[in-house]
Structure formats: structure tokens, C-alpha cells
Chain A
Amino acid sequence: MTTHRMIVDLDRCIGCHSCTAACIQENEIDLGRFYTKVINVGPTGTYPNVEEYYLPVKCQHCETPTCVKVCPTGASYRREDGIVLVDHNKCIGCEYCIMACPYGVRSRNDRLGVIEKCTLCAHLVDDGKNPACVDICPGHARIFGDADDPASEVAQKLASAGDSLHRLADVGNTPGEAFLLANQTWRS
């Protein structure tokens, strides 16, 4: 059994937006839309105790994705390896999944009339490669692999992270991806 997972080490993220650029290039995303973005969290606090970190956000490939539950056509689906995808041939562009997503990471491709989001570069993953955002990251902040393989870096990071492991808000969707942040206070 394979479960593809990505974690982002926020202590290593320098906010360079390379992931956003690589994603747009790899997935040929229309101008103005994004599958992944980098958000500034902060600055918070008072000088000299000021904190700020960068939060790269995208589809969290949830364990129980609400987008899949509400999709009327079955276009949104979760693969056995945990990647949540949208079948363009079935999508009617009703935007119900956009309403159901807690993170605002889906958008409509008006040219095709379908909904799109991060695919975790499933086309690359199926060829045994990493998602484009992982390979481009200069700080090695994005860690990708099989969470079910104890020897993988992602599995080891998840096992050893302890209190530095964080996830986005969970409203019943159980986000599949995670963030590492040890040097600052998690505020996301």
C-alpha cells in the first residue's frame, strides 16, 4: 500500500515562490490562477520579539475530502494512494467542490468549464518522479514520498516531528498534508 504525502518544513521555507512558478509551468495554469501559493503569516509580536513565516498552501489531499463527498458527478475522486483529483471528462463546473473546500484552493478553468486544483503532479508521480514544486524548492522545504514506507523521508519526518507537526483547520475533512514548524509559533 502506498500513500503519497507531502509535508512542508516551514523552518526551511524562504518564501521565494519557486514552487508557485514551477507549478504554473508544469501544469500550464492560466494566468491569474494558482494550484499553490505562498502566504506570509505575520509579522506578529512586538520588536524585538517579532515572528513571521511563509506558508505554502495548496490542496491538502484530505483523508475524507468534502470535495469528493459533495461532487454530484463523481468527477472529484480520491485515488488509493491518497491523491485527490478531478476528472475533467466528468466535471460539470458546478463549483460545489469549491464551496465545500475549507481552504479555498480550487478554481474554475473558464476555458474548459471545469474545476482544477493541485494534482500533486500525479502525472509525474505515476512515472516515479516528484511533484514539480518539490524538485524546484531550493531550501528542500517540501518533502514528498510514501508515508506508508517507514524508510521514506516523509514517514520519518512525520514520526519524529512531535509538537512541531501542524495541520490546517479540520472541519471533518482530515487534511492529509502537514507542516513542520519548530522555531516559531504556529498561527495558521
Chain B
Amino acid sequence: MDIQWPLLVFGVLAGLSMGCLGFVCAFILAGKAESLRMPGVVIALAAIAAGGLASAFHLGNPDRILYILGNLQSGITQELLATAVAGVLIVALCIALVKKASPAVLKTLAVLGLIAAIALPFITGEAYVQGARPAWNTLFLPIMYVGAAFAMGALTMTVLSRIKHVDDADRTLIGRASFVAAIICTVTVVLYVSAVALAPYPDPSRSIDRLLSGDLALLFWGAAVALGLIVPLALTAMQAFGKQPQAKGGTAVLSRPSVLFVGLVCLVAGSVAIRSIMYLLGSSVQSFIY
């Protein structure tokens, strides 16, 4: 299957949005990083709005978009509903933060937001899980979507923590969370690629050899692994265990916001790459006409 760019952009931006939402909600529940909450929510809102808009470009008849609510069994219907719920929660959280709502209201929204932050990327990935496409027919696919969302949200918060100059305790905590998220993201990618290798109905079009040494090797090793996993792992490891940003020389440069932002771009590029690979391996069990 060709890369479905509008869907890919939606998946990545929805993941970024839910990652940011999840961390903001976690901050609220833990009483941490107050200065990062509003910027985090704004990024979440912008990302989900842009992603939703991108997905409309996939449709042949976007004017009929509300027809999507016609079948609750459909993954697309579930995606639309989950996106709408997440969007409403982000807006509600935004208003609650601006209006300085009571802790009870904030915590209630934070719990719901955390659920949405996990549910939407999972539902987005789960929509692809179907018997017709062996390289997609694994639960490790939606789990990989959740892992990517977690890592993108964590690294975004790390960048923000450097820009907003949060206190050392919060910065260290966010740095460590970011490192854990990068590890989880890596594990989920490895699990998904392993599932592709073991998928039934083997066929050259979805062979693991295409990734490891074939026509997709550069995309896999260069973009998905080197840019998307190794760079974020190295940078977040520095945040978790390296020198404080105010330290001079050596590896402290790796804690600059600009460097961390480049790391975030690498992570997003890696996420785009592994999803591109997912589409390119997504041949059907027997593709006769197309």
C-alpha cells in the first residue's frame, strides 16, 4: 500500500497532542511543573486541530464527514469520536487553567485527559489492525502508537522545561520521564517489527528483509532507528543523568532548548518513518487487482 500521508500526519500529530495532554494531566495530578501546563495544552490543541484537518484530505467526499458516525464498529468512527472527546477535554482543560479552576475540577479533567491520552493513540493504531493486512494485524501496532505518543509528549515537555526554566527538581523529573518514554518507544518499535517478521501469510512485499537489508533499509535504519530512536535516547539520557544545563562545557550543550528541539524533530521524523514503513509493508493477503 502507498503511504497515506493525510492519515500518517493525523496519527503523528494526534500522538504528539495526546503525549502533551498526558504529561500536562500527570503534572496536574502530581502537583508539578505549573509553568508548563498552559503551553503544553496549547501545543496539544494545535496539534490535534492540525491533525484532524490533515485527515480530512484523505477523504474522497469530505463534505460527508459526519456520515462517519454511521457505524460504531468502524475504527474510523471510533477514531473520530475519540478525537472529538480528546479535543473537548483539551479545550476544557485550557479554560480551567485560564480561569484557575478549583483543584477538584482540574484533577477530574486530568484523570479524564490521561485516559484520552492513552486511548486516542491506541484507537488510531487499532484501526489498522485487520486480518487482511498481515503486517498490520498485531496489537503491537497500536501499542507502538501509544509508545510514540508518550515519547513525543515527554520530549516536548523537556524542551518546554528548558525554555520556561522550571526548577531543578521538576527538570530532573521531566528529564527522567523523557528517558523512560524514549526507552518505551524503542521497545514498542522493536515489538512491532518483531511482529512483522513473524506475521502469517509471508510474502516478499511485507518481508522483514525489506527493512533490514532491502529497499526500506535506509528508511528503517537511517530514519526510524538512528533519528527516531537513538538520537532521542541519547539526548534524553543526558537529561536524566547528565550535567545540569547551567553547567558549562562538555555535554551541557546537549541540554540547550535548541538541541532538544532538534531531538524532538528527529523523534517525529522517526515516527513518520516507521509509519511510512508500516504503510509500505501493508500489502493484503492476496492482492489481485490493485
Binding site for B on A (CB under 8 A): 34, 36-37, 39, 55, 57-58, 66, 69-75, 90-96, 98-108, 110, 112-115, 168-169, 171-173, 188
Contact = CB atoms under 8 A, between A and B. Distances in A.
B249 interface: no
Contacts of A104: 284, 286-290
7 contacts: A66-B131, A70-B74, A72-B69, A98-B290, A99-B133, A103-B287, A104-B284
B282 A73 contact: no
Given A70-B73, A103-B287, 18 more contacts: A37-B288, A69-B74, A70-B75, A72-B74, A72-B76, A72-B77, A90-B64, A91-B60, A92-B61, A94-B60, A96-B75, A100-B130, A102-B131, A104-B286, A112-B60, A114-B60, A171-B132, A171-B285
A93 to B, nearest CB: 2
Interface residues of B, number: 35
A89 to B, nearest CB: 9
Interface of B: 1, 4, 58-62, 64-65, 67-71, 73-77, 80, 127-128, 130-133, 201, 282, 284-290
B60 A99 contact: no
A72 B286 contact: no
Given A34-B289, A57-B288, A108-B60, A71 B74 contact: yes
A90 B131 contact: no
Contacts of A55: 288
A110 B60 contact: yes
Contact of B289 (A57, A73, A96): A57
B16 to A, nearest CB: 23
Given A66-B131, A99-B1, A93 B289 contact: no
B71 A74 contact: yes
A94 B132 contact: no
B74 A37 contact: no
B288 A99 contact: no
B60 to A, nearest CB: 2
Contacts of B70: 71-75, 90
Contacts of B75: 70, 72, 96
Contacts of B131: 66, 102, 171-173
A73 B132 contact: no
B64 A73 contact: yes
B56 to A, nearest CB: 10
Contacts of B65: 92
B60 A72 contact: no
A107 B287 CA distance: 12
A104 B76 CA distance: 20
Contacts of B286: 102-104, 168-169, 188
